[in-house]
Amino acid sequence: MSDAPVLSGVNLVADLDAVTDFERKHTPYITHEPAGDKTRVNIKVGHYVAHPNMADHFIDSIALYVGDAVIARFDLAAVAAYPEVSVVVDLDPGTTLRAVESCTIHGLWAAEITI
Ligand SMILES: [Fe+2]
């Protein structure tokens, strides 16, 4: 069994102002808003630069993690033309969430937010 962390091999862009459009088009865009006494988390891919969604090149999943634990996962097909998902979570303020998207050609890309 590997000792590698669950999220190893994931591209995490630290500064969107210092990267290429290729990196921007793969980086998840995360927002959050109150949902009653819970928090709605929205994750979009293609917010910064549109990502193509063709039969052989598209976003096939978006997952949301707290630490190494996945708390939501969405599988997508190429017809999901504007990959965007939403989930309501019951987490303490100050919790850091990581969204990870999977491109069928370009691998895993992540972004983080603290709610
Ligand atoms: Fe891609």
Does this model's pTM top 0.85? My answer is yes
How far apart, in whole angstroms, are the C-alpha atoms of residue 41 and residue 84? 11
User: Does the residue 6 lie in any domain?
Assistant: no
What's the DSSP call for residue 16? G
Query: Ligand 1: distance of its center to the CA of 28 in Å?
Result: 12
Query: Ligand 1: distance of its center to the CA of 38 in Å?
Result: 33
Strand 59-66 relative to strand 29-35, pairing: unpaired
For residue 9, the model assigns a pLDDT of 86
Query: Ligand 1: distance of its center to the CA of 48 in Å?
Result: 13
pLDDT band at 16 (very low <50, low <70, confident <90, very high): confident
Q: CA 98 → CA 1, 3, 28, 75, 105, distances in Å?
A: 24, 20, 9, 17, 21
Domain count, the chain: 1
CATH number of 100's domain: 2.60.40.730
User: Does the residue 2 lie in any domain?
Assistant: no
Element (H, E) at 102: strand 96-103
Query: Ligand 1: distance of its center to the CA of 37 in Å?
Result: 36
Q: Which of 64, 69, 70 is nearest to 84 (CA)?
A: 64
